[in-house]
Structure 1
């Protein structure tokens, strides 16, 4: 199996698997076109960097995959410019809202699903610990696999919980995309994974290749590519972790 991942920006990627291209969590607005993230100390507009590819890039996709509906994962530009007939795969909690935005072919994945030869397993996540998780709403990850039994785990905006550790222990995915920016709200509440969580993942599943994203684009993310790269080097994880630049393609 060949997997190509083009990291676009933040949590947005183009994933090509079995010859099908899936747009993940589209934030397609240009620099400064989105408001500040609420409940943070950061009052500047987002994103902080421009889109690295032209919008025409997204005319040639086969499906859209959504982990949750925060505006840095499905923004106003994506709602406006994406073809409304494109299949959208999402969690059941997000199904009706995506339909209300005019998308005509929306399929929710409760536990498992199948599309164009690709099997999907939904992994329920937590966007934070404790009661803050309820406030931030539901978020999911997805495992994509093919008949060759190699898999890609899109973790989503999740903190590292025991159920997610169990997923890594059970499935040992070939590749995982981890939002590892240590995003924080007020009172230093961390709502995504951190560099230390990458170390834990690789202790559980040493054969997994980690694609670390969600950095240097949204103001409440406190881990930069530079800081993560230093951590990865110091902890001798260079062979296991890729930190792509915006627009960069990675091949497996």
Structure 2
């Protein structure tokens, strides 16, 4: 795995300057990462996405501030995931890149599923218990209610929140063989699509490999921007349980005009694909200008 501090070269960054007509924040690209606070300083109609850490995202969209899959613990707070690659390493591998207060200052939270690298004990303790939280199903909702959260809402294909349309999407957390081997552990997962008249359609695929659910979502919603969990998380003895380079390439081929954003990288022990290796694969495969791989703390205007 490459060092987590790896960042694109200046040439790679300049090649990535166009995001379907929207420019990446220049200060995020050529200097220090843009903080969440800076990302919301402009007009409320501007949409942006901040890669916080791992699969944790801050999305400002339609004037609403969403926090996705919050993992808020300090570096090395938890043991590595037993039976997975690099399990001797403690999670998270890296610290949060901005102050916690900035991360949790949001209007709503979206939790795609309750695996501990998407929803941790620190999030349970530190998030406002009255804040709306969207989840994938009744089982996840019951667990959040039991943790003291008062406003838990189940995502459907047609959910509305303050003028933003949210649609739950499906996924497959590993191959058929992986799901057969670990049905209770891998379990149901989800992603979601955000739509608003002022913005491009955004699809956050969640923990999934390339499969029919992802293909169907692309065909149904024709997203302009697609966020992919691309760290190639690996359980010993099984194929990767989230996307790797070939999955990302398959998404590009299904949606050649979409801008892809790679997330869930270099922050937990079992994600074995580095940003540098994915960037090199995309360049070799001829689609590097359609793929952005933000560093932790980096903000993209979408």
**Same fold by TM (over 0.5)?**
yes
Aligned to 1:238: 288
Shift of 1:146: 1.1
Counterpart of 1:138 in structure 2 is 188
1:95 paired to 2:144? no
94-103 vs 161-170, which moves further: 161-170
2:102 to 45, 50, 57: 57
- Look up the match of 1:117: 163
Matching residue of 2:114 = 69
Q: What does residue 126 of structure 1 align with?
A: 172
RMSD: 1.4
1:36 equivalent in structure 2 = 80
Cα 1:166–1:133, aligned 2, differ >3 Å: closer, same or farther?
farther
CA contact (8 A) 1:172 1:207 kept: no
1:9-67 deviations in Å (ceiling 9; x for gaps):
10001000011110000011111002211221422211111111111113420000010
Q: How many residue pairs get matched?
A: 252
Give yes or no for the alignment of 1:152 onto 2:171: no
Q: Is the 8 A contact 2:48 2:59 kept in 1?
A: yes
Q: Are positions 1:78 and 2:127 aligned together?
A: no
Give the TM-score of the pair, scaled to structure 2: 0.80
Residue of structure 2 aligned with 1:228, choices 269, 272, 278: 278
Counterpart of 1:212 in structure 2 is 262
Distance 1:126 1:59, change over 3 A: closer
Q: Map Cα deviations across residues 193-225 of structure 1 (whole Å, 9 max, x no partner).
A: 111111111111111111101111111111100
Hey, which bits of structure 1, 4+ residues long, moved more than 4 A? none
Cα 1:30–1:138 shift into 2, 3 Å? same
* Paired residues of 1:29 and 1:76 also in contact (CA < 8 A): yes
- Which protein has the larger Cα radius of gyration, Structure 1 or Structure 2? 2
Q: Give the Cα separation in 2 of the matches to 1:133 and 1:109.
A: 25
CA distance in 1, matches of 2:231, 2:197: 33
Contact kept, 8 Å, 1:212 with 1:243, in 2: the verdict is: yes
